[in-house]
Amino acid sequence: MFRQGDVLIVPVPEESVPRHAVDAAGEPRDARGRMVLALGEVTGHAHALMAPGKLVRTGAERMLLHLPEGGRLSHEEHAAIPLPRGWYRVVRQREYTPSAIRIVAD
């Protein structure tokens, strides 16, 4: 497992990846060619990768990341994290308040 700020990256065995995710084209990259896992709503900073692969949305807040050659997860306020090749589940940290559960704003 890897954590960078409010983003958790969990390795997923290839045999557990749903077929529709394997066949999906993936989310579009940003203007800089990065796969953005989370964009800071407050700062505009991003948890992002410049690497071969794809980011696949599997639900409203669910994402799978495929890195066939590995990659480096970067963010302006955190140290870069090298990720080995493989599939990953991307999890955003949540925050509980008495009125709701919400994704943490960066």
Note the pLDDT tens digit of each residue in 38-82. Answer: 887 666 789 999 999 999 998 777 899 999 999 999 998 889 999
- Please determine, for residue 88, whether its predicted confidence score (pLDDT) is greater than 70: yes
pLDDT of residue 102: 54
Reduced DSSP (H G I as helix, E B as strand, rest coil) percent helix, strand, coil of the chain, to 5:
10, 55, 40
pLDDT band for position 24 (cuts 50, 70, 90): very high
- CA 40 to each of CA 14, 18, 26: distance values in angstroms, whole numbers, following the listed order: 30, 29, 21
